[in-house]
Amino acid sequence: MLKIGQRGIRHLQRSSTASFTTVSASSIEKGQNRVVDASLTLIRERAKLKGELVRLLGGAKASTSLLGVPLGHNSSFLQGPAFAPPRIREAIWCGSTNSSTEEGKELKDPRVLTDVGDVPVQEIRDCGVDDDRLMNVISESVKLVMEEEPLRPLVLGGDHSISYPVIRAVSEKLGGPVDVLHLDAHPDIYDCFEGNKYSHASSFARIMEGGYARRLLQVGIRSINKEGREQGKRFGVEQYEMRTFSRDREVLENLKLGEGVKGVYISIDVDCLDPAFAPGVSHIEPGGLSFRDVLNILHSLQGDVVGADVVEFNPQRDTVDGMTAMVAAKLVRELAAKISK
């Protein structure tokens, strides 16, 4: 017999009736399998619906599809990013601005942007699924989106740990490594931060170990220690720190990536921005990029963008008027325009 864990079934452990506090290991495993299967079915059917719609409308070689991954427990500080996906969606469609991107793409056109909903992370964790399997579920969910051509994933985090299973899925589905453009205040390349191999501070170590990225360019870095630099050298990472940004600007605004590999993946941690532009993050690091700096880098990037994520927005630290939610939403809008064609 095995005692049940995780939030959703802890009330059974507190029950005064002993028969409710333990169940067999086989029963737990069967229940977990059903929850995981149901979760993947949810994403599969939504992706199929959106894919059929885009194919019916025709004319799209690549179409962005949002996938939420509301995961926050791998954060080393605050876990508020788990609440970000619905806040970002709300800001995208709040009506305070029009539905056209800066480069003229119309977001209400399903060939530019669709949404397959969220991976039900909390329900999966509530039934006792561990992080090894959860990461696999996230990867499989991304692959389900990619199976419905011409859909390409734009993932809403969530803390930065989600980038590992997402990039892994994109690379495996496309059959080879991608070039990764990573905008962040931190390199997130610790070997195993605080003993957690899936920590949001270790995601890019896992990506590079797995061979899922050929080139990794990290931009906006301004909180990095000895290990971060050593890990960067170990994996051949191109780290662009904010202290030299004025010198590096010309290079970063003329990037050409993805040649000879399966495309380009863009990962944006909202704290790449100076907190004056995005205060609603868990780790506030002054001296960051301006919002226009980020857009200039994105708009000028040459390459086939096959996927992206926006992570580490923490609604619990945002201003009362949702300033950072709007910032994250505009990042999503401009990324959708970059992916869709």
Question: Given pLDDT bands bounded at 50, 70 and 90, which one contains residue 9?
Answer: low
Report the pLDDT value the prediction gives residue 221, as an integer from 0 to 100: 98
Q: Which of 200, 212, 135, 218 is nearest to 173 (CA)?
A: 212
CATH code: domain 28-339 is 3.40.800.10
- List the structure tokens of 244: 């030299």
pLDDT for residue 187 is more than 70: yes
The arithmetic mean of pLDDT across residues 162-168, rounded, is 98
Report the pLDDT value the prediction gives residue 67, as an integer from 0 to 100: 98
Report the pLDDT value the prediction gives residue 232, as an integer from 0 to 100: 98
Query: Rounded to whole angstroms, how far apart are CA atoms 23 and 331?
Result: 46
Indicate the domain borders of the chain: 28-339
The arithmetic mean of pLDDT across residues 153-169, rounded, is 98
Report the pLDDT value the prediction gives residue 2, as an integer from 0 to 100: 40
Report the pLDDT value the prediction gives residue 4, as an integer from 0 to 100: 43
Question: Using one digit for the tens of pLDDT, what is the confidence trace for 73-114?
Answer: 999 999 999 999 999 999 999 999 999 999 999 999 999 999
Report the pLDDT value the prediction gives residue 216, as an integer from 0 to 100: 98
- The two counts, helices (H) then strands (E), for the chain are 11, 10
Report the pLDDT value the prediction gives residue 23, as an integer from 0 to 100: 76
**Strand residues in 113-224 grouped as ranges (E):** 113-118, 151-157, 178-183, 213-221
Binding residues, by number, are 160, 184, 186, 188, 269, 271
pLDDT for residue 302 is more than 80: yes
**Torsions phi, psi for 115 (to 5 deg):** -145, 125
87's CB contacts (< 8 A; 6+ apart) are: 313, 315, 318, 322, 325, 328
Question: Given pLDDT bands bounded at 50, 70 and 90, which one contains residue 21?
Answer: low
Binding residues for Mn(2+), by number, are 160, 184, 186, 188, 269, 271
pTM: 0.94
Report the pLDDT value the prediction gives residue 24, as an integer from 0 to 100: 85
Percentage of the chain beyond pLDDT 70 is: 94
Cβ neighbours, 10 Å, residue 247:
9
Question: Given pLDDT bands bounded at 50, 70 and 90, which one contains residue 38?
Answer: very high
Report the pLDDT value the prediction gives residue 7, as an integer from 0 to 100: 57
> 84, 158 in Cβ contact below 8 A?
yes
pLDDT for residue 120 is more than 80: yes
